[in-house]
Amino acid sequence: METSKKVKQQKKKVLLMGKSGAGKSSMRSIIFSNHVAKDVRRLGATIDVDKKRVKFLGNLLLDIWDCGGQDAFTESYLTSQKSYVFGDVGVLIYVFDVESSDFTDGARGNSDRDLQTYGSIISALDEYSPNARIFTLVHKMDLVANEYRNEVIRSKTAAITARSGRFARTIGTYATSIWDETLYRAWGSIVNSLIPNLDIVEDGLKDLQRVTEAEEVVLFEQNTFLTVTRVSSEVGDENPRGDRYERLSNIIKTFKNSLSSYTESNSSHQFDSFTIKTGIFNLIINRLTYNTYVLVVFPPGEAELQCARLNILSAKDEFARIESVAEGADDDFRNLRGK
């Protein structure tokens, strides 16, 4: 059965802000434009506001406003462009350079200009978009020695929270680097917070996990390979690698980009299926819908592999319907699934 209601596209304005040189455009290019880390050094500074519209999961449109961080631009955002920049914001992503000499608590005569600017932006956001979500990224953490990273992120998180006003209780702060999977962990959490009807998507994954007897089922967005959501069995929950989803995002995105260079293709769909067979487990990464891939980890064996392939194929139509669910179609679709 197909719902006959017209899908309503949902637009979310995403502000990407921070000091010039903090790495905002670099991370955006890696996540949304298929750049690799070694190439982003060629990117120039952002001038004023660079807008990019990204289609995510079919009906979710992200209007990403990459705001130049030079002092003159920031002053303009907070004065003459205030309502234009901070109005109707769904998410603010604020990037701090971990090595900035202007990020301190103001003690010992050091500058806390980064935090002062952040506080002013929070005030403007509270005035024009009080329901916005805020995520802060402490970036370039690869420049901090491993033994000091936990203490650095703890102290900076405390300082950021103290300047976040009434948003302090809901703010999410992440340590990131373009050189590892931390970037995917942060952006995966950000995008996950914007996805409508996530519970319906998870119900569909649970059905697939049940019929395939899978340890884990993970849904990825097809272009960015950010994790949309995942479900797991009790066995899957015992996996000690808590960062495995972000690592998978990073590995698969790199693999997909490598295929593009070999096939000389600019298509965002360079492969339909990828299979690993071992004596311990089977793994399939398969195109599920136009906008998604699914990863399924399940018991070993040729019969199990063929059954899983058939079940994934059977699930494609349902997930295409799930993906199309938007405001106004929710009740009909929940009734269709027996909610």
**pLDDT per position as a tens digit, 113-152:** 899 999 999 999 999 999 999 999 999 999 999 999 999 9
Tokens of 6: 């017209």
Pairing type for strands 282-289 and 273-277 reads antiparallel
Poorest-confidence range of 230-239, 242-251, 261-270?
261-270
Instruction: Tell me the C-alpha to C-alpha distance, in Å, between residue 250 and each of 30, 31, 284.
Output: 10, 10, 17
The pLDDT value recorded for residue 327 is 40
pTM value is: 0.81
Tokens of 104: 């301190």
Q: Helices H, strands E: what count in the chain?
A: 11, 11
CA geometry: angle 249, 238, 178, nearest 5 deg: 25
- Identify whether the C-beta of residue 31 lies closer than 8 Å to the C-beta of residue 183: yes
The pLDDT value recorded for residue 208 is 94
Pairing type for strands 133-139 and 172-175 reads parallel
Q: Is 275 in a helix, a strand, or coil?
A: strand
- Identify whether the C-beta of residue 294 lies closer than 8 Å to the C-beta of residue 308: no
Instruction: Tell me the C-alpha to C-alpha distance, in Å, between residue 139 and each of 11, 72, 84, 217, 255.
Output: 27, 22, 27, 30, 24
Please name every residue paired with 60 in a beta bridge, in sequence order, or none if there are none.
10, 56
Nearest to 197 by CA among 64, 16, 58: 58
pLDDT tens digit sequence for 42-85: 665 666 788 888 877 767 888 999 999 899 999 999 999 999 99
pLDDT tens digit sequence for 186-212: 988 898 888 877 888 899 999 999 999
Is the pLDDT reported for residue 268 higher than 70? no
- Identify whether the C-beta of residue 129 lies closer than 8 Å to the C-beta of residue 87: yes
Is the pLDDT reported for residue 293 higher than 80? yes
Nearest to 172 by CA among 143, 136, 121, 132: 136
- Laid out side by side, the sheet with 273-277 consists of 227-232, 216-221, 292-298, 282-289, 273-277
Tokens of 26: 């670099």
Contacts of residue 160, Cβ cutoff 8 Å, sequence gap at least 6: 96, 115, 118, 136, 138, 171, 173
Residue found by looking up tokens 């995520």 in the block: 135
Please name every residue paired with 194 in a beta bridge, in sequence order, or none if there are none.
none
Give the integer Cα–Cα distance in Å for 65 and 279. Answer: 48
Give the integer Cα–Cα distance in Å for 77 and 92. Answer: 14
